[in-house]
C-alpha cells in the first residue's frame, strides 16, 4: 500500500526502542493477524522485555498449554512490581 494512503504507519520499532519500562509480551504461534516472526523480531528491541510464545492465535489467550497467570505473576515479581510474598490471586485465604 502506498505510504500516503496510510494515516498511521504503526512504526512499532520506533516506539519500542523508546520504551523504558518492564514489558511482558505474549505472542501466539498461530497468530494470523500479526505474524509470530514479527513478534520475535521486535522483542529484542524492547530493553529488558519478557517474550512468552504460546499455542494461540491473535484473540484466544490464554491457551490451555500455558500457565498464563503464573507467567504474569513471575514477570511482575522479577520486575519488582509485585512482592514475591504476595498471595496468588487464586490462593486460599
Inform me whether the pLDDT recorded for 77 exceeds 70: yes
Cα 27 from Cα 35, distance rounded (Å) = 9
Q: How far apart are the first and last CA of the chain?
A: 56
Q: Give the percent of the chain with pLDDT over 90.
A: 48
For the residues 47-64, what does the mean pLDDT come to?
90
Decide: 48 and 21 in contact? Cβ < 8 Å.
no
Q: Of 7, 60, 6, 13, which Cα lies nearest the Cα of 32?
A: 60
- Is-above-0.85 flag for pTM? no
Name 54's bridge partners.
28
Amino acid at each position: 500500500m502506498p505510504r500516503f494512503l496510510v494515516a498511521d504507519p504503526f512504526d512499532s520499532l520506533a516506539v519500542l526502542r523508546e520504551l523504558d519500562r518492564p514489558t511482558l509480551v505474549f505472542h501466539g504461534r498461530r497468530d494470523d493477524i500479526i505474524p509470530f516472526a514479527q513478534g520475535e523480531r521486535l522483542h529484542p528491541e524492547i530493553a529488558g522485555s519478557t517474550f512468552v510464545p504460546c499455542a494461540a492465535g491473535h484473540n484466544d489467550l490464554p491457551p490451555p498449554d500455558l500457565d498464563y497467570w503464573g507467567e504474569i505473576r513471575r514477570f511482575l515479581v522479577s520486575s519488582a512490581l509485585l512482592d514475591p510474598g504476595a498471595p496468588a490471586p487464586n490462593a486460599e485465604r
